[in-house]
Homo-oligomer: A and B are copies of this chain.
Amino acid sequence: MSKLQQVYRMDNLHRLFFKAFSNQTRLEIIQLLRKKPLTVTEICEKTGFEQSRVSHNLRCLEHCGFVKVTANGNFREYSLDGETIIPIVNLFEKHIQRYKERLENCEIIKDE
C-alpha cells in the first residue's frame, strides 16, 4: 500500500468514525448509555424516538464498536464500550465550551 493510499485510508476511517458521532439520534443514545445500559424500549421511552429509528442507529453504533449488546430473554440490553468510547466522549468539553457560539453559527455545518 502506497503512502498516499495509506493516508487516504486513514482519513477515511477518521471520517467514518466522526460520522458515527455526528448525528443527533446516535449522540442522544450515547449520552443516555453513559449513565447506564438500556434496552431498546427504554431508549425509545427516554428519547421519544420511534423504535425503528432507535434500532437502526443502535445497529450502526454496535457495528462500529461504540456499544455492546447482551441478549436477555425478549430484551436486548445495550451498553457503551467502556474501553474506547467513554474516554473519548469525556474529552471534547474544552473545545466545545470554548467555541460553542461559533459551532452554533457555522454556515457549512448547519443547525437545522
Residues on the B chain within 8 Å of A98, using CB: 65, 84
9 contacts between A and B (CB under 8 A): A13-B104, A14-B96, A15-B23, A15-B24, A19-B109, A20-B106, A60-B107, A63-B106, A65-B99
Knowing A31-B7, A57-B108, the reply to whether A18 touches B16 (Cβ < 8 A) is: no
Interface residue? A27 (CB, 8 A): yes
- How far is B10's CA from A100's CA once the two chains are assembled, in angstroms? 9
A22 touches B22 (CB 8 A): yes
What is the interface size of chain A, counting residues whose CB is below 8 A from a CB of the partner?
Answer: 46
For the A-B complex with A15-B27, A20-B109, A59-B107 known, give 20 more contacts whose Cβ atoms are closer than 8 Å. Answer: A7-B31, A12-B24, A13-B96, A14-B27, A14-B96, A15-B23, A15-B24, A16-B104, A17-B92, A17-B95, A17-B103, A18-B18, A22-B22, A56-B108, A63-B107, A63-B108, A65-B95, A65-B103, A84-B94, A84-B98
